[in-house]
Amino acid sequence: MNGQLDPLILAILAEEPAHGYAILQRLKERSSGAFDLAEGTIYPALHRLERDGLLSSTWSADSGRRRRVYSVTRAGSSALEVRRQEWKHFALAVEAVMG
Amino acid sequence: MSWLDDLSLELYARGVPRRERARIAIELGDHIACEPGCEERLGDPRELAISFADELATSEARSSAFVTFAALAVAAAVLMISQITLARVAGYPGYSNGISTLLFFPAILGVVVAPQVALVAGTLAAWRALRRRRAPQLPAAELELIRRRTRIALAAGFATMAGLELYVVDFSLRLPAWWLALVGGLAALAGVGLLGAARRLLRAQVIVSGTAGPAGDIYDDLPLVGSEWLRRRPWLLGALASVTVGLALGAFEAHAEHSVLEGIQRGAFEGVAAALGFVLLGRAVGTRR
């Protein structure tokens, strides 16, 4: 997961805005549980991505609780596209070597 | 104590600001409410607090370096305006024409020497912050180097604006009222900008980072200059820089004043001042270890 959490978060939020717990659930579903990370680690990453201007967030009230809902900014979409291209090149290179 | 209480205490111990702590508590509280009993999967509260603090400390140190650089740019513009208007409209009064030499000499030190310290320290702080802008967490030692450079730059920026104000007071009976009002007002405004940057730096300083690693030095910042050979001879860099600065300013002053003697005198003063700055502040700003 080292270094890959940021683009994974961006990819999930590019589909629709979500709060921390929902992002984790989607991450687990989409990866069929492959990513085994301490769940708390997603929050420092969310805060950092927001400080870097790649995410924005607002408070919402749901089930009587306040929660922070995150969405991707325009800069975040561009950064995600760059990371997707980098990943494709990397995956192709690995595949070419591994067969 | 609950998992959330532990996390809040750990965040507090690492100097994470209250607003940030409150937001984290609400978000993690919501997470636990979505799936009661999931605390173990959230991880060790101490480790999580360290992660929050390290990333926040990095971000705040970088921001304070950039904000300080911007505030110093405004102060530099004020200094230039003061000197250009003084030279073109009123002319430089001799030091004996002021109210007191006790005002003149600190003013000149502030206007001539302090801006150079601010330029070097502020540029090095901002350059390191820019160069390391993609790193989510910087080592604590590196953060301290950025903050120290920023502190020195800010102190020198304040000294420059204070020097200008002293200059205004010293020549208040000799220079035109409009110039005194313009420069006094602009220097005060630039001082307010520097105060804003200082506030930002204070906020960055209270967050405790625990990431291990070296601080690095000027050879990491300027790889073209850097070489292991020069790194092992730190005084050589100081000597080279001082001679270069002295020669450049000496040549400029000789041309501007149409006097070789004047150029030599001012160039020598500048070279000695640069060497002194290297000796006194070199270790603090990471130009020598």
Is pLDDT above 90 for B210?
no
Specify the higher pLDDT residue, B142 or B262. Answer: B142
pLDDT digits (tens, 9 = 90+) for B217-247: 888 888 766 567 777 787 888 888 889 989 9
What CA–CA distances, in Å, run from B68 to B65, B93, B118, B126? 5, 32, 10, 8
Whether B30 and A51 lie within 8 Å, measured CB to CB:
no
Residues of chain A that touch chain B, judged by Cβ-Cβ distance less than 8 Å: 19-21, 38-41, 43-44, 47-48, 51, 65-68
Contact B65, B129 (CB under 8 A): yes
Interface size between A and B, measured as CB pairs under 8 A: 57
pLDDT digits (tens, 9 = 90+) for B32-86: 998 888 888 899 999 999 999 999 999 999 999 999 999 999 999 999 999 999 8
Contact B134, A6 (CB under 8 A): no
Predicted pLDDT of residue B218: 84
Question: A59: domain CATH number?
Answer: 1.10.10.10
Q: DSSP string of A25-39? A: HHHHHHTTT-----G
| Mean pLDDT of all residues belonging to chain B | 91
Residues of chain A in contact with residue B44, where contact means CB-CB under 8 angstroms, are 38
Distance from CA of B76 to the nearest CA of A (A): 28
Is pLDDT above 90 for A37?
no
Give the three-state DSSP class for A54.
Answer: coil
Global pTM reads: 0.86
pLDDT class of B172 with cuts at 50, 70, 90 = very high
Contact A26, A14 (CB under 8 A): no
pLDDT digits (tens, 9 = 90+) for A41-82: 999 999 999 999 999 999 998 778 889 999 999 999 999 999
Whether B51 and A48 lie within 8 Å, measured CB to CB:
no
Distance from CA of A98 to the nearest CA of B (A): 30
Residues of chain A in contact with residue B41, where contact means CB-CB under 8 angstroms, are 38-39
Give the three-state DSSP class for A96.
Answer: helix
Give the three-state DSSP class for A3.
Answer: coil
Whether A68 and B34 lie within 8 Å, measured CB to CB:
no
Which of A43, A63, A83 to mutate: most B Cβ within 10 Å?
A43
Predicted pLDDT of residue A90: 92
Looking at the structure of chain A, the number of domains it has is 1
Distance from CA of B151 to the nearest CA of A (A): 23
ipTM here: 0.88
Quick one: tokens of B216? 């690095």
Is pLDDT above 70 for B150?
yes
Contact B159, B119 (CB under 8 A): no
| Mean pLDDT of all residues belonging to chain A | 91
Is pLDDT above 70 for B90?
no
Distance from CA of B43 to the nearest CA of A (A): 5
Among A62-76, B12-26, B222-236, B271-285, the minimum mean pLDDT is found in B222-236
Q: Name the CA dihedral angle for B269, B274, B276, B281, rounded to a multiple of 10 degrees.
A: 150
Residues of chain B in contact with residue A38, where contact means CB-CB under 8 angstroms, are 41-44, 47-48
Distance from CA of B51 to the nearest CA of A (A): 7
> Which domains are seen in chain B, by residue range?
3-43 (no CATH), 64-214 (1.20.120), 217-289 (no CATH)
Whether A44 and B31 lie within 8 Å, measured CB to CB:
no
Cβ-proximal residues to B281 (8 Å cutoff; 6+ apart), any chain? B117, B121, B152, B287
State which residues form the domain around A76: 5-98
Longest dimension (CA), chain B: 82
Residues of chain A in contact with residue B28, where contact means CB-CB under 8 angstroms, are 40, 43
Longest dimension (CA), chain A: 53
Residue where the block lists tokens 């030095």: B217
Cα-to-chain-centroid distance, residue B105: 24
Predicted pLDDT of residue A75: 97
Q: In three state form, how does the secondary structure of chain B look?
A: CCHHHHHHHHHHHCCCCHHHHHHHHHHHHHHHHHCCCCHHHHCCHHHHHHHHHHHHHHHHHHHHHHHHHHHHHHHHHHHHHHHHHHHHHHCCCCHHHCCCHHHHHHHHHHHHHHHHHHHHHHHHHHHHHHHCCCCCCCCHHHHHHHHHHHHHHHHHHHHHHHHHHHHHHHCCCCCCHHHHHHHHHHHHHHHHHHHHHHHHHHHHHCCCCCCCCCCCCHHHHCCCCCCHHHHCCHHHHHHHHHHHHHHHHHHHHHHHHCCHHHHHHHHHHHHHHHHHHHHHHHHHHCCCC
Predicted pLDDT of residue A38: 83
Nearest to B31 among A21, A51, A66 (CB): A21
